[in-house]
Amino acid sequence: MINRVFAMGAILLISLFWSTVMCAQQQHEGSIHYFTEPTLLHDVYGVHRIPIDTGDVSAPKDTLFQLLSREGKPVSYYRKIITEVCFDSSCRLLRVNLYWNVTGRYLGFELPPREFLSKAEHEPFNTDEYLRLHTILADSLSPIGGLNYGDLVPKSAVSDTLDGVTGATSDDVLQYVVKGAVFTTFTIWNLIYGPTQAAVIKATEQAMDANFLLDILNSTSLWDRHWALDRLSILPGPASEVKNRVLSLVCDGSYNLAAHALDAVPTGWCVNATFQQALWSKFDCVQYALKPMLLKKIGLCDDTPDSVLLDIANRLPQMNGPVLTAGLECLRKYLPGNQAVLQRLTSLLNHENRFVANQTKKILAEVSAAEQE
């Protein structure tokens, strides 16, 4: 019960500060909080305790707290961390609550009341250092992920049991950590991106349904949207809202996201001719470099409606390079049976651009050879 109240209070704070996308120090009842943009803005109505393996030798078991919405769906997760970080031959306890979004993305950290983080010589973090730590923790691609304990300080400087003091921290490492708190940074970053992150993702996947996935696809975080796109196949029969959302992402301004959305469209969705029509309707708004990908996707579908095939064929004379090639490939399997398409391709043999004429000639010759076989 205490945990529940504490967690709800924390999430209320998250909601309160969500619009400050990153890095605003948040004081509440004497404690220190830093939170990023949450995936979901739902209020918390319950907490579910999930026993997890931490991967830590000294404390292999712990509890992951799953915060739940009114509908009983996950909103976020946290763990109460108590571990040791050593400084200059002495160790002190690190007590921090770490938060994850439903997608496993770092959400924030919170120190218990009257707790603070400290550097070498037990000097407390200042505001800039908390912000720096928060920024580092939000970076899932940080080179910290490629480091091991032994990389943190020059071998000759200190033994493995010591925390890194400023002067002894390896130059290569210093740019990725809070100065004077190399092991603290390293420890927390690895907690965020360690086995707990996988446990969070697993728990969320178990709760997945169409509306929940749609919520994540609508997250303002690009990372979350990518995460959701990777999980379209979890749904047995997605709602049309999910399909529409994915189609809208196909024309997103972010190249990576649009490409991912196209790639993620399950071939099974093509069974529906209306979906194929809707996918083709994105041809004009999709970025040029992704147009061939869209055509290839349609080419993977079976029983493409005539209206789509003819529209593609009608637009071939205006297509260039890889778009033309992909357009021709998309139509290949309907040749020579579809006379209307064949007629349009035949007319391209006299196109003024010899590249267009040659590409068309090549594909018609291949179709003809296949027929003769």
Partner 1 sequence: MKRRAAIATMGAFSLGLTAPRLLKGEVLQQPQPIQKKTLHTDILVIGGGTAGVVAAIQAGRAGKKTILVENGSMLGGTTTTGGVAFPGIFFAWGKQVIGGIGWEMVQEAVSLNDDELPDFSIAHGRQHWRHQVRLNGPLYAMVIEDKCVEAGVDLRFYETPVEVVQRNNGWKVTTVGKGTQTEIMCNQLIDCTGNALAVSLAGFNLLREEEIQPGTLMFRIGGYSIDQLDMELITKEFNAAVSRGDLIKGEFLNVASLLRSAGDNVQHIAAADATTSTSHTIANIKGRASLLRTVKFLRTLPGLERLKVLDMQNETASRETYRIDSIYQITHDDYVTGKFFDDAVSYSYYPIDLHDAHGVVPKHLEEGHVATVPLRALIPRGSRNLIVAGRCLGSDRLANSALRVQASCMGMGQAAAAAAVLAHSQGKTPADVALPDLKQLLTEHGAIVPEKLT
- Least distance (Å) between residue 288 CB and partner 1: 4
Q: Which of residues 83-122 bind partner 1 (CB under 8 A)?
A: none
**Residue 214: partners with Cβ closer than 8 Å, 6 or more residues away:** 239, 241, 242, 245
Residue 161 corresponds to which tokens in the numbers above? 């049991």
Q: Given 3-state DSSP classes, what are the helix, strand and coil percentages for the chain, each rounded to the nearest 5?
A: 50, 15, 35
218 binds partner 1, rule: CB under 8 A:
no
* Number of Cβ atoms within 10 Å of the Cβ of 346: 13
* Count of residues interacting with partner 1 (CB under 8 A): 31
- Give the residue with the Cβ less far from partner 1, 27 or 148: 148
Q: Which of residues 126-185 bind partner 1 (CB under 8 A)?
A: 141, 148, 150, 154-156
Residue of 353, 366, 368, 370 that binds partner 1 (CB under 8 A) = 353
Query: Closest by alpha carbon to 62, among 158, 194, 196?
Result: 196
Residue of 23, 68, 257, 264 that binds partner 1 (CB under 8 A) = 257
259 binds partner 1, rule: CB under 8 A:
yes
Residue of 72, 167, 355, 368 that binds partner 1 (CB under 8 A) = 355
Query: Closest by alpha carbon to 140, among 103, 185, 181, 105?
Result: 105
- Least distance (Å) between residue 230 CB and partner 1: 12
Report the residue count for the chain: 373
Residue 187 corresponds to which tokens in the numbers above? 């420890």
Amino acid letter, residue 63: T
320 binds partner 1, rule: CB under 8 A:
yes
317 binds partner 1, rule: CB under 8 A:
no
* Number of Cβ atoms within 10 Å of the Cβ of 231: 17
Q: For residues 182 and 170, give the distance between their C-alpha atoms in angstroms, rounded to a whole number.
A: 10
287 binds partner 1, rule: CB under 8 A:
yes
Of 25-33, 68-76, 187-195, 356-364: span binding partner 1 (CB under 8 A): 356-364
* Footprint on this chain of partner 1 (rule: CB under 8 A): 141, 148, 150, 154-156, 222, 226, 253-257, 259, 287-289, 292, 318, 320-323, 325, 352-356, 358-359
